[in-house]
Amino acid sequence: MAVKVSLSLKLTLIVVLISIIIVASLSYINVYWQNENEKEIYDKTIGWSVANFAESHAALETLDDNLSSYENLSEILANTDTLYISLVNLTVEYSDILQININTPVDNNLTTIISTNNNSLGSLSNPEYNNDSYENGNTWYRINGSILTIVSPINTHEGIVGTYEIIISMFPKGISYVAQIQFIIITSFISFLILIVALLFLLRKAIVKPIINFRNTAKIFGKGDLDARVDIDSKDELGDLAVAFNEMAKDLKESRDKIQDYNQILENLLQQKDEFIGQLGHDLKNPLQPLVGLLPVVIEEEKDPKIKETLTVMNQNVEYMQDLIFKTLQLAKLRSSNIKFDFENIQLKKEVNHALATEQLSLKERKIAIENRIDEGIIVNADKLRLAEVFKNLITNAVKYTPESGGKITIDAVKEDDFVKVSVQDTGIGMTEDQIKKVFDEFYKADVSTDEYQSTGLGLAICKRIIDKHGGKIWVESPGPGKGSTFYFTLKFGDEK
């Protein structure tokens, strides 16, 4: 069985993908905006301080008087994560002063490393700082990512006494990378959820619900309620589809109503025809009574062999006519819609024996062996009188088409899956493939060319109708002309109580 992927699931997947894309974009914008914001903050606060610090520092003659410079530095130190401060080529005297001044306001809060290095004075002209650092008086500072590096000479009244180097993280103090990433993840996740819910809600309303509406309407429509209509009034393609569907439904309903009307007319005509045939058959029987009733008597009484022969032929034809009327009447009845069948549980073997008893005379005359092999335990659910009619017709047929000497008729029944298969087999003249196809048609006669087998061509059509009404099947098999035929039909099991 193919895996059914619902539209909802597909749409959900699409929504999830779209949401991921949107949220990723938003996160990128968020990060970008955050960076911009950081820069702005830096420019407004730290940047200003750094610039001021550098400027004022450079302008002042002595370190002692450089109070504003210290304040600026302190501000930087207070607002940023100062990673590293080093003092280069500083005399111990100045180093002490600077150390005290820097440490005083910030000592406890910052990881500040101050080191002294008295080795050289040359770092100012270090080309490393010239490359992509910004010149501001005598001070160089460089921004590399979020890291700010300031290198500045220390001017005193004695001239440049050394250089200091400060490396500062540009993130405002208290906002760490981790916190920022967490913030981004959480906001992304929330917006992701909101997006999914909103999109799903919209898609459900716009696509899935109308489609479910279509499906349900189509189901109801298919079950025969042609008044079912799709209830969608949106102005989109689905709305157009709904209008088209409803128009189709309307047309179908009109067509069906028309067909039903015609059908009713036809049924009435058929009913009238059946009634007519029934009445006709009935009326044909009465005038036949003296012929049917008295011909055997008159034949018996008649002494003149010529007249006797004539009367015998007449009697045969009268019998044939009677048979024809009886069967036509029966077919008309079987065709009419108000025919009733009385189903009951029947012991099949007994029923066949009963049918055989009525045919006993002709069997004796014809010297045909007949065997009822049906198991006594087989019980079928059938209309007794109609089933008797089927056996009568099949046995009469078998007798009619089986030669007198050495002929044999075998009646049997086997239990199959959920039904009983009955067979009536003869060793008679057999059938061609064409005959097998047509033998159950009304008025079909196997052998039109000779009068040897006088037949109404209705017996098997009656059998078929009766078996149809029992919910069974009837068919014939024959290996070919001269090789006998076997008629089969199926019946339902009876309750074996």
| Cβ nearer to other proteins, comparing 22 with 288 | 288
- Cα Rg of the chain (Å, integer): 56
Q: Shortest distance, CB of residue 298 to other proteins, whole angstroms?
A: 8
Interface residues for other proteins in 266-285 (CB under 8 A)?
A: 282, 285
Interface residues for other proteins in 316-335 (CB under 8 A)?
A: 322, 326, 329-330, 333
Report the C-alpha dihedral over residues 216, 219, 224, 225, rounded to 10 degrees. 0
**The one among 294, 307, 369, 448 contacting other proteins by CB under 8 A:** 294
From the list 459, 320, 473, the residue with the least C-alpha distance to 398 is: 459
Q: How far does Cα 158 stand from its chain's mean position?
A: 93
> Do the Cβ atoms of 27 and 181 come closer than 8 Å?
no
Q: Using CA atoms, how far apart are residues 133 and 139, in angstroms rounded to an integer?
A: 10
Q: Shortest distance, CB of residue 296 to other proteins, whole angstroms?
A: 5
Q: How many chain residues interact with other proteins (CB under 8 A)? A: 25
98 part of the interface to other proteins, by CB under 8 A: no
b/e map of 193-217 (b: 16 or more CB within 10 Å)? Answer: eebbeebbeebbeeebebeeebeeb
Q: Shortest distance, CB of residue 343 to other proteins, whole angstroms?
A: 12
> Do the Cβ atoms of 379 and 347 come closer than 8 Å?
yes
300 part of the interface to other proteins, by CB under 8 A: yes
Q: Shortest distance, CB of residue 294 to other proteins, whole angstroms?
A: 5
Across the beta sheet with 80-88, the strand order is 114-117, 80-88, 159-172, 147-156, 139-144, 134-136
From the list 323, 345, 337, the residue with the least C-alpha distance to 392 is: 323
Q: Shortest distance, CB of residue 386 to other proteins, whole angstroms?
A: 8
| Cβ nearer to other proteins, comparing 343 with 475 | 343
Q: Shortest distance, CB of residue 287 to other proteins, whole angstroms?
A: 6
| Cβ nearer to other proteins, comparing 209 with 308 | 308
Supply the DSSP symbol for 99. H
| Cβ nearer to other proteins, comparing 221 with 391 | 391
For other proteins, which stretch binds (CB under 8 A), given 22-30, 218-226, 233-241, 297-305? 297-305
From the list 211, 262, 261, 265, the residue with the least C-alpha distance to 241 is: 211
Q: Give the tokens for residue 316.
A: 């045969």
Interface residues for other proteins in 330-369 (CB under 8 A)?
A: 330, 333, 342
Q: Shortest distance, CB of residue 325 to other proteins, whole angstroms?
A: 9
274 — phi, psi (to 5°)? -60, -40
For other proteins, which stretch binds (CB under 8 A), given 62-70, 81-89, 157-165, 287-295? 287-295
**The one among 301, 371, 447, 468 contacting other proteins by CB under 8 A:** 301
313 part of the interface to other proteins, by CB under 8 A: no
The neighbouring-strand residues paired with 477 are 486
Write each residue from 372 to 411 as x if it is in contact with other proteins (CB under 8 A), else as -, in one continuous string.
Answer: -------------xx--x----------------------
| Cβ nearer to other proteins, comparing 209 with 333 | 333
**The one among 297, 313, 357, 361 contacting other proteins by CB under 8 A:** 297
172 part of the interface to other proteins, by CB under 8 A: no
| Cβ nearer to other proteins, comparing 3 with 297 | 297
**The one among 60, 241, 292, 436 contacting other proteins by CB under 8 A:** 292
Q: Using CA atoms, how far apart are residues 133 and 144, in angstroms rounded to an integer?
A: 9
Query: 414 burial class (0-12, 13-18, 19+ CB within 10 angstroms)?
Result: middle
| Cβ nearer to other proteins, comparing 46 with 329 | 329
Q: Using CA atoms, how far apart are residues 13 and 9, in angstroms rounded to an integer?
A: 6
Provide the 3-class DSSP secondary structure of residue 410: strand
Provide the 3-class DSSP secondary structure of residue 160: strand
296 part of the interface to other proteins, by CB under 8 A: yes
62 — phi, psi (to 5°)? -120, 155
Q: What is the contact surface with other proteins in residues (CB under 8 A)?
A: 282, 285-294, 296-298, 300-301, 322, 326, 329-330, 333, 342, 385-386, 389
